Structure 1
Amino acid sequence: MQVIRLENVNKTYSYYAHGVDRLLEILTKRRHHEEFVALHPLNLTIEHGQVIGVIGNNGAGKSTLLKIIAGTLSPDKGTSHVLGRVSALLELGGGFHPDMTGRENVYLNGTMMGLTIPEIDKLYHAIVEFAGIQEFMDHPVKTYSSGMFVRLAFAVATCTEPDILIVDEALSVGDGGFARKSFNRIMQFKQAGKTILFCSHSMYQIEAICDRVIWLEQGQIKMDGVPSSVVSAYTESLSQNVNAQLNTATTPVENATTSTFVEGTAKIKEVSVMADGVTEKKLDIFSLHSELCVTVKFTSDISLASPTVGVLVINADGRFITSAGTQHDGLQIQRDAKGNATVRVTFPKLALLKGEYWIDVFLLCENAIHVYDHASAVATLNVRQQGLEQGVVSLPRQWAQI
């Protein structure tokens, strides 16, 4: 059953350099503004229960598309048909009135979403409990910290049992513990068969959560299909910028030992990469001979299920060459009484062929979906080889004359 159908939807924004230009345009009947086409005529259908990822560069039209589906923005042309109650995590708390209390804003937003007062009464305690700010509910939200603000906004948006949930980069809201809590809530929606639109720059989460991905570029759908194919094509299109990004990337583990640990989350403490007994940030590797070891130390809230660790190898074009994960490979990490652990993955006779590669490390939840921490470009591998074998990896094989 189709729950979302967009037909020839178009949206253009007008920009005025000066406030008076709008008046001059009215008086003179001459154009005094610049235009930006956020969405070209666009057609889209989404079935009930689908989890749709929306990806694209900044300015591609992602937020405009989601706002039109949510009903907070009207298209200039075309029609948008949405069946069912929609809850949108676009600009968290965007509908909150700063002078009203948290309690008043819960009821205000609930009625805006189509709920009756008795329905909000039934949901109120669940909303407050999820947000975890009971003692502040009768205070004006303008006195809230940013973390308290997004906690309440997220709780209101997700406790109202919508048919369609729209998420725009909201999985990392609040502190580390609440980020995990909010992620679990969204996964519950998926398991319940709700329709979800998820916009993110995290390609890992897009592939982990979604069963269909839409790639927007310059206000048009460039590609629409299974996550692995669309994400691969999108990542390849960004490869021209990867070298600059990686050269300026910082490794968060350098300051991890001095950071404050947050309950309900986990943190990488140290990563070391060793090749043939040498530990450096830049390593020389001899293809099919060198042994590569990646050691990861982390700390975690002991009340959490034990985290998992992932290691990713990226080449100079930004392509993911290979990965290794404790969850996929069946290693159950045992932590000490304080939640600390150290794991190591070893690649004997590394099969990479000549080229330059980077190592990224992820610390993830027990299901290897939610990312607690990420260390980018922890080491650079300069791989050399003998012979003229081409490609990025040397696969085991056997020849025979028949």
Structure 2
Amino acid sequence: MTAISLRNVAKSYRSYDHPWETLWEVLTKTRRHREWTALHPLSLEISQGEVVGIVGTNGAGKSTLLKLIAGTLIPSAGDIRVNGHVAALLELGAGFHPEMTGRENVYLGASVMGLSNDRVGQLYDGIVEFSGLEDFMDQPVKTYSSGMYMRLAFAVATAADPDVLILDETLSVGDGAFARKSFERIIGYKNAGKTILFCSHSLYQVEAICSRVLWLDHGRVVMDGDPGRVVSAYAEFLSGAENGGGAPDQPALATAAASGGGRLTKVEVTADGVTDRKLAVRSGRTDLEVAIGFESDPALPPPSVGLTITGSNGWAVTSASTSNDGLALDRRSDGSGEVMLVFPHFSLLKGAYWVNVFLLCEQGIHLYDRVEHAAELQVVQDGLEQGVVSLPRRWSVKGGPVAGREPAKQPVAAR
């Protein structure tokens, strides 16, 4: 079943040098405007239950496409059809009035979404309970902190069990326990077979949750298909673009407190028996060790740990995670634990690299805490081998000896 259908949908805008030129153009029928196209004619079919990621540099047309589907923008041409109720997390709380109470804004915000007062009345208790703002609903929202405001806006936007969920740049809102709670609601909708559109610069999260990825550039579709294939092509485009959008973000959310999440308590990087924040590493010889300690909410499933090694340009050269490698972390009764990651005979070639460590949820998607630039690696090598990494290999000469370099095993130990 088709959830979203676009037929030759386009969006363009007019701009004028002076406000009076708008009226002058109407009266004289003389063109005074310049026109630019945010989205060129686009035809698109999205099936029910698909999770579609949308990537592209700033100005590519991502937000325009989402707003057109959400109905907050009117297309300049073409036809858009969306089957079912839409919840759009684009500008959370944009329909709220600061002088009105939280209770009044629940009804106001929900009415903007097209819900009747009777329907809001049915949902009201659940909205308040999810937001955790029971004691503040009769206060004007202008007295709310930014976190309280976002909690109420998210609870309203996602309360009505939408058929289509539109997300712009985030998989959760708030911090601490509510960030985890909002993340779980979004993933719950994914698991329930809802249609989701997710626009983000975080290629890690896009590839982790999406079943399909759409790459836009200057309002046109460049690629549409398998997440791994599209993300890889887009990342390669960014690495070679002179004025691209920069390196894709690591999983980027606010650091959470231990309640409702977790935090890193120790990150120690050791090379050749030396533990420091700046280390000398011999390519193909040094065993690199990363000791990681963490604390987490014992009421939640055990977290996962991830690591990236980035080059001087900020791009990830390699990564590892306990969730991807199938390692379940053990914890003490208070939620704390440690894990050790070892790279035997470190295989990256000469250059400067950074070690970055992340504490994530059990699915390896929602971020609890991070330590970036935990250590700088200055790698030196023997010989003139070129590139970034030394790959295992074997040479053979017919009738002669065999020579090469065998792969080193990379044990992962939890303790």
TM-score of the superposed pair, with normalisation by structure 1: 0.87
| Alignment match, 2:134 | 134
Q: Are 1:274 and 2:278 matched, yes or no?
A: no
Q: Which runs of 5+ in 2 are unaligned?
A: 400-415
| Within-5 A mapping of 1:147-158 | 147-158=147-158
Q: Which runs of 5+ in 1 are unaligned?
A: none
Q: Are 1:106 and 2:102 matched, yes or no?
A: no
Q: How many residues align?
A: 393
TM-score of the superposed pair, with normalisation by structure 2: 0.85
Distance 2:47 2:325 in 1: 34
Distance 2:33 2:141 in 1: 36
- Structure with bigger helix share is 1
Distance 1:246 1:68 in 2: 26
CA apart distance, 1:91? 0.4
| Alignment match, 2:190 | 190
Residue identity opposite 1:64 in structure 2: T
Return 383-392 or 120-129, whichever deviates more: 383-392
Local SS of the residue matching 1:69: helix
Residue identity opposite 1:175 in structure 2: D
| Alignment match, 1:160 | 160
Identify the match of residue 292 of structure 1 among 288, 291, 294. 288
Local SS of the residue matching 1:238: helix
Distance 2:366 2:328 in 1: 17
| Within-5 A mapping of 1:38-49 | 38-49=38-49
| Within-5 A mapping of 1:72-151 | 72-151=72-151
Distance 1:316 1:223 in 2: 29
| Alignment match, 1:174 | 174
* Alpha carbons 1:236, 1:319 under 8 Å: kept: no
Identity of aligned residues (%): 55
| Alignment match, 1:263 | 259
1:43-69 per-residue CA deviation (whole Å, 9 max, x = no partner) reads 211111100011112221111100100
| Alignment match, 1:374 | 370
CA apart distance, 1:240? 5.0
| Alignment match, 1:308 | 304
* Alpha carbons 2:56, 2:217 under 8 Å: kept: yes
Residue 86 and residue 245 in structure 1: after superposition, are their counterparts in 2 closer, same or farther (change >3 A)? closer
Local SS of the residue matching 2:323: helix
| Alignment match, 1:64 | 64
Distance 1:374 1:236 in 2: 25
CA apart distance, 1:305? 2.4
| Alignment match, 1:323 | 319
Residue 15 and residue 381 in structure 1: after superposition, are their counterparts in 2 closer, same or farther (change >3 A)? farther
Distance 1:171 1:349 in 2: 37
1:277-325 per-residue CA deviation (whole Å, 9 max, x = no partner) reads 2334443322211111122233333333222111112345665433221
Local SS of the residue matching 1:42: strand
CA apart distance, 1:134? 1.1
| Alignment match, 1:228 | 228
Distance 1:280 1:240 in 2: 33
Residue identity opposite 1:84 in structure 2: G
| Alignment match, 2:361 | 365
CA apart distance, 1:101? 2.3
| Alignment match, 2:409 | none
Distance 1:335 1:137 in 2: 39
